[in-house]
Chain A
């Protein structure tokens, strides 16, 4: 199957700082990437969908000015959590799909802790 990586795998930051998370498709061209968030003992909640070269589509209730998504190439999408606060601490997972994939493939996730 296709491989998706995320970097970093975990990050700890101070409240008020910004954090950037990268999602890369390693062996296929990702025309669409999805960003999910998962709080402890809860399910995955879709935050936004990004298509290469286009603005991301955010789900209801997700602040687009706080969670900046860039999908500038067919192998890379980034999620920037701006002015992070402790309530943003969560497990952030990306997934990617392409023209030749039959489903979306998940990255290993990034655990964000905001102090």
Chain B
């Protein structure tokens, strides 16, 4: 079972560059989300989606865009990378928008902005 697949695993960018972090799940999950993990701060929600065509902002959305054109894919775009966006990014999915379902996480993308 592939589960949640994130690419790339590592990336180094220069300030001002843009890039897209890819996330795909093969479990037909309705709910998908993006988090960033920083030391001492746990996981912070960037954006989330409850289905194709529906996205919403989390607690730290600035500098990031998302779209959900299919159930399987939920890419995260950095519009103009800044050093403050150096972090580990995790994509997660769950079966439905019901809050009693656990989330399934990808293995993360480690992003460094120089």
To the question of whether A and B form a pair in one complex, the answer is: no
- Give B contacts to A, CB under 8 Å: none
